[in-house]
Copies of this chain bind each other. A is one copy, B any other.
Amino acid sequence: MKTLITNAYVLDMLGDTANIEKKDILIHDHIIEKIDYNMIELVDEKINAKNMLIMPGLVNTHTHLAMSIFRGYKTDRKLMDWLENAIYPVEDQLEPEDIYWNSYLSCLEMIKSGTTTCNDMYFGMNKTIEAIKDIGLRAIVAWNIKDDAIKDKVEKTREYATIYNEDKNSKIKIYVSADAPHTCSPYTFGLCVDLAKELKTGLHIHLAETLEEEEIVQNTYKKTSTEYLNDLHVFDVPVVLAHGIYVSDNDIQILKHITGGISHNPISNCKLSSGICNVAKLRENGIVVGLGSDGIGSTSTMDMFEEMKTAAYLQKVNTMQPGIISAYEILKMATIEGARVLGLDKEIGTLEPGKKADMIFIKMDKIHLCPENDICANIVYSANGADVDTVMIDGKMIMQNRKMIYVNEKEIMRHVKKIVKRLL
């Protein structure tokens, strides 16, 4: 199947400055075959993308998809209080079908706001994988492992990694997840690292999200979380480190050498009063930083446009330097650098021949995006998820003119509301 997209302004996210040109995009099955001026090609389908800006689909590097039922639930609390007194008691009652519908809602919200890839960590992940597959998203998935009930999760991780990681065309990949330094013993981390090595995959970990957690680790092990992980040889494998707020200068020297990177979750970090990650400093030191939403429970939104804005605002006001990070750099964090954090930068994150056809169309002829002095600034500071008109993942149209092609949205909401009624 060949598709030709014409008349679009293409923001390819290649290079150090924005490159936006009126070009056509030729897609062959799952792959971008060619991007060029005024192409004439015999194709199966032509799409006229007039007034649209096409850019790579957004990459959300840290999610808990099944937590959508917790939107706005017992909000305005600190992380540990919120988890222990609001979330954990309900999570214990979640049935597999709940995980499916809750995950589905998060996926739907992501696609409707331009995210085409996510990196998820939770439990009951077989049902989350089902939802991701049914809706057609690209994702890395990991069973969250803490010190308890390890065996079952290790087996599940191995079983699903065998299915998905060896299938070159699969949009789903399996990572190993060790929850966090304050919840996983050296034994657990050792086991997770060995498993990741065996499966030739990476590790998804919460790192230094709150001062309280960091203090627990430092009191227990007399070292920082990052030093703890480093001493356990965790960084021998690729890692996605969510949050990374409380890192010392020495930690940064360690993190410079990791494969993978940090997932910065600005909204969650604000809403839970966790703190502000010094993204500017991490980036100055060559550490790759992507953006993530965390679960809907803590952020209340999966809209990566909101994460982009908030990330920019926080760095500018925290460093008191408005030029510390540009709109284009924020867009890189939400696309190619997010892909790099996930080890997917050879497949996605930019628009260029040979890469997977994951792209979003942003409708530009709108009042709140006028005038167009700086299109990247408009996308980051003026647009929001509702400006995403069309979403293509792996060469397949998922949403067009804001309508999900294969999904009955009302039915998904009905299912989720039923779960909420039962549990909350």
Contact between chains at A270 and B370 (CB < 8 Å): no
Q: How far is the CB of A283 from chain B (nearest CB, A)?
A: 15
Give a binary string over A57-85; 1 marks a CB under 8 Å from any B CB, 0 the rest. 00000000000111111011110001000
Q: Which residues of B contact A306 (CB under 8 A)?
A: 309, 384
A40 to B132, CA, bound (A): 48
Q: Given that A71-B382, A367-B112, A413-B367 are contacting pairs, would A270 and B377 also be in contact in the complex, using a CB cutoff of 8 Å?
A: no
Contact between chains at B381 and A300 (CB < 8 Å): yes
Assess whether A152 is interfacial by the CB under 8 Å rule. Answer: no
A271 to B312, CA, bound (A): 8
Q: Which residues of B contact A128 (CB under 8 A)?
A: none
The oligomer's copy count stands at 2
With CB as the reference atom, state the residue of chain B lying closest to A414.
Answer: B370
Assess whether A409 is interfacial by the CB under 8 Å rule. Answer: yes
5 extra A-B contacts, CB within 8 A, seeds A273-B321, A275-B317: A68-B370, A77-B322, A314-B317, A368-B385, A370-B416
Assess whether A326 is interfacial by the CB under 8 Å rule. Answer: yes
Contact between chains at B413 and A316 (CB < 8 Å): no
A321 to B272, CA, bound (A): 8
Interface centre among A108, A373, A385 (most CB of B within 10 A): A373
Contact between chains at A275 and B409 (CB < 8 Å): no
Assess whether A417 is interfacial by the CB under 8 Å rule. Answer: yes
Contact between chains at A273 and B413 (CB < 8 Å): no
Partner of A71, one of B320, B371, B386, B412: B371
Q: Which residues of B contact A271 (CB under 8 A)?
A: 312-313, 316, 322, 381
Contact between chains at B365 and A410 (CB < 8 Å): yes
Q: Which residues of B contact A367 (CB under 8 A)?
A: 105, 108-109, 112, 409, 412-413
Assess whether A97 is interfacial by the CB under 8 Å rule. Answer: no
Contact between chains at A314 and B368 (CB < 8 Å): no
Q: Given that A273-B316, A368-B113 are contacting pairs, would A72 and B382 also be in contact in the complex, using a CB cutoff of 8 Å?
A: yes
Assess whether A174 is interfacial by the CB under 8 Å rule. Answer: no
Q: Which residues of B contact A149 (CB under 8 A)?
A: none
